């Protein structure tokens, strides 16, 4: 498959409440930043634009339409939208480039989750006849998953706390993070349970913000003369919605997607995993077969700040940043959607050499 270049990436600060800013106001600064990085003027200078968002975060139908107001889409542009994380908007953009309808694309994702109660809002993602009427929120479902892991002896509470401690400490080097600290496993384990067996720190925070990326063909990246990294593979897979039919302690869809993306064809220096709960990071790194040679979530991951609908794209952006800075030569990024890691996307990103 054709390799696709990432030339620019920007993410807003993760904040619990973006206050007065509306979606357009959250998006515009990110777009300006990626335009500058790529050395282009605006969205008119790319061949395709695709975004990811969810109407239910802000509670208004067609919420994404206002996103178009940030683009300067006059004259009209080739543009599309997925009601998914923007990592899937990236996927659509890659298809457009592979089929030759575009050489470059702008991707953005945005979410202002603070107006509503995100875990409750997401309960309405469940089967509308059997599950949604029960209002089972995402935290409770994840807690059941964590309990399965603990009871079956796959992990211990210390393992979960270790994930959090590493996230908090890594986030100290991430100026965009919402939660960063130097904290020990012992300290974390002394905290009270929140939705047992999860403690509050096992759950990602809710953040407002946006992220944006520009991709193009390798030829175009060389023409633009900017540093770039290459997406050498991308794949995504979904599993049954019926939680009772899944082995919740594993993520076979992540494993299949990683194989589809060619993750196994070389060493993995860095992995950015979209794990909204600490135990899920362990599920994912086991499914991906990651070992000591791989640095996991150097940004702190989404436990340090979760821009719903943009976090998946941000994981890809974070790996891009590590490769551009020379900290890594090959990495994988992961995005997820649905309850208990139902739907997973894996991208493999390598240096341009």
Partner 1 sequence: MSEQQDMITDIKTPVYLQYNFTAGKSPARFLSQIKQGILTGQRCPSCQNVYCPPRGSCAACGVATEEEVVLSGKATVQSFTIVAIPIPGNPIKPPFVIANLVADGANISFIHLMSDCVNEEVHMGQRVEPVWKPQEEWGYAMDNIKYFKPLDEPDMTIEDIGKLALNAEKV
Partner 2 sequence: MTSNSAVLAAVVGIGQTKYQTKRGDVSIAGLVREAAVNALQDADLTFDDIDAVVIGKAPDMFEGVVMPECYLTDALGCNGKPMFRVHTAGSVGGSTALVAASHVQSGTFKRVLTVTYEKQSESNAMWALSSPQPFSVHLNAGAGGYFAPIIREYMRRSNAPYDAGIKVAVKDRLHGARNPLAHLHLPDITMKEVEESMMLWDPIRFLEACPSSDGACAMVIVSEDVAEDAPKPPAWIRGCAMRSEPTMYAGREEVSPQAGRDCAADVYKQAGVTDPRKDFDCAEVYVPFSWYEPMWLENLGFAPEGEGWKLTMEGATSLDEGGDIPWNCSGGVLSSNPIGASGMIRFAEAARQVRGDAGGHQVDGAKLALGHAYGGGAQFFSMWVVGAEKA
Q: Does 23 bind partner 2 (CB under 8 A)?
A: no
Task: Give the C-alpha separation, 85 to 107, whole Å.
Answer: 11
In the complex, least distance from residue 65 CB atom to partner 2, rounded to whole angstroms: 5
In the complex, least distance from residue 71 CB atom to partner 1, rounded to whole angstroms: 5
In the complex, least distance from residue 72 CB atom to partner 1, rounded to whole angstroms: 3
Site string for partner 2, 121-160 (x = CB under 8 A): xx-xxxxxx--x----------------------------
User: Which of partner 1, partner 2, none is residue 280 near (CB under 5 to 8 Å by kind)?
Assistant: none
User: Which of partner 2, partner 1, none is residue 242 near (CB under 5 to 8 Å by kind)?
Assistant: partner 2
Q: Token pair of 108, please?
A: 């953005």
Q: Does 311 bind partner 2 (CB under 8 A)?
A: no
User: Which of partner 2, partner 1, none is residue 350 near (CB under 5 to 8 Å by kind)?
Assistant: none
Q: Which is nearer to partner 2, 77 or 352 (CB)?
A: 77
Q: Which is nearer to partner 2, 65 or 196 (CB)?
A: 65
Residue 292 CB neighbour total at 10 angstroms = 5
In the complex, least distance from residue 175 CB atom to partner 2, rounded to whole angstroms: 31
End-to-end CA gap in the chain? 17
| Residues 6+ away with beta carbon under 8 Å from 228 | 5, 6, 7, 218, 221, 324, 352
Q: Does 337 bind partner 2 (CB under 8 A)?
A: yes
Q: Does 69 bind partner 2 (CB under 8 A)?
A: yes
| Residues 6+ away with beta carbon under 8 Å from 242 | none
The DSSP secondary-structure symbol of 88 reads: H
User: Which of partner 1, partner 2, none is residue 201 near (CB under 5 to 8 Å by kind)?
Assistant: none
User: Which of partner 1, partner 2, none is residue 114 near (CB under 5 to 8 Å by kind)?
Assistant: partner 1
Q: Does 103 bind partner 2 (CB under 8 A)?
A: yes
| Residues 6+ away with beta carbon under 8 Å from 158 | 185, 189
User: Which of partner 2, partner 1, none is residue 22 near (CB under 5 to 8 Å by kind)?
Assistant: partner 1
Q: Does 196 bind partner 2 (CB under 8 A)?
A: no
Determine contact, residues 212/27, Cβ cutoff 8 Å. yes
Determine contact, residues 102/47, Cβ cutoff 8 Å. yes
Maximum Cα–Cα distance across the chain: 59
Piece of 152-160, 207-215, 280-288, 331-339 that binds partner 2 (CB under 8 A) = 331-339
Angle of the 252-260 helix axis to the 278-287 helix axis, nearest 10: 50
Q: Does 287 bind partner 2 (CB under 8 A)?
A: no
For partner 1, the binding residues (CB under 8 A) are 18-25, 28, 31, 42-43, 56, 58-59, 66, 68-74, 112, 114-117, 120-121, 124, 128-129, 132-133
What φ, ψ does residue 43 adopt, rounded to 5°? Answer: -65, -15
Q: Token pair of 131, please?
A: 């599950």
Nearest by Cα to 348 from 328, 332, 327, 324: 332
Q: Which is nearer to partner 2, 1 or 196 (CB)?
A: 1
| Residues 6+ away with beta carbon under 8 Å from 74 | none
Q: Which residue has 């894996």 as its token pair?
A: 346
Residue 132 CB neighbour total at 10 angstroms = 13
Q: Which residues bind partner 2 (CB under 8 A)?
A: 1, 47, 49, 54-56, 59-62, 64-65, 68-69, 71, 73-84, 88, 91-92, 94-96, 98-103, 121-122, 124-129, 132, 235-242, 252-253, 256, 337-339, 342-343
């Amino acid at each position: 498959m054709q390799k696709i270049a990432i030339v620019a990436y920007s993410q807003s600060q993760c904040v619990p409440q973006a206050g007065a800013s509306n979606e357009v106001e959250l998006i515009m600064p990110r777009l300006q930043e990626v335009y500058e990085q790529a050395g282009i003027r605006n969205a008119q200078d790319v061949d395709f634009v695709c975004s990811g968002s969810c109407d239910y975060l802000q509670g208004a139908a067609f919420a994404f339409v206002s996103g178009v107001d940030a683009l300067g889409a006059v004259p009209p542009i080739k543009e599309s939208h997925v009601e998914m994380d923007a990592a899937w908007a990236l996927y659509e953009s890659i298809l457009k480039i592979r089929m030759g309808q575009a050489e470059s694309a702008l991707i953005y994702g945005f979410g202002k989750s603070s107006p509503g109660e995100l875990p409750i809002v997401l309960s309405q993602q469940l089967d509308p006849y059997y599950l949604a009427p029960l209002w089972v929120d995402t935290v409770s479902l994840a807690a059941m998953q964590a309990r399965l892991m603990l009871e079956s002896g796959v992990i211990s509470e210390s393992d979960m706390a270790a994930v959090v401690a590493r996230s908090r400490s890594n986030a100290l080097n991430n100026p965009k993070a919402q939660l960063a600290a130097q904290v020990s496993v012992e300290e974390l384990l002394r905290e009270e349970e929140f939705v047992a067996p999860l403690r509050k720190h096992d759950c990602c925070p809710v953040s407002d913000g946006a992220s944006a990326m520009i991709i193009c063909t390798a030829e175009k990246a060389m023409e633009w003369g900017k540093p770039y990294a290459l997406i050498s593979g991308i794949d995504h897979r979904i599993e049954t919605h019926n939680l009772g039919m899944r082995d919740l302690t594993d993520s076979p869809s992540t494993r299949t997607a990683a194989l589809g993306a060619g993750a196994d064809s070389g060493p993995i220096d860095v992995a950015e995993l979209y794990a909204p709960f600490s135990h899920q990071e362990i599920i994912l790194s086991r499914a991906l077969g990651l070992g000591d040679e791989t640095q996991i979530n150097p940004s702190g991951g989404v436990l340090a700040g979760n821009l719903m609908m943009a976090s998946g794209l941000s994981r890809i952006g974070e790996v891009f940043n590590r490769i551009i800075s020379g900290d890594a030569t090959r990495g994988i990024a992961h995005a997820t959607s649905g309850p208990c890691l139902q739907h997973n996307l894996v991208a493999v990103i390598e240096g341009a050499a």
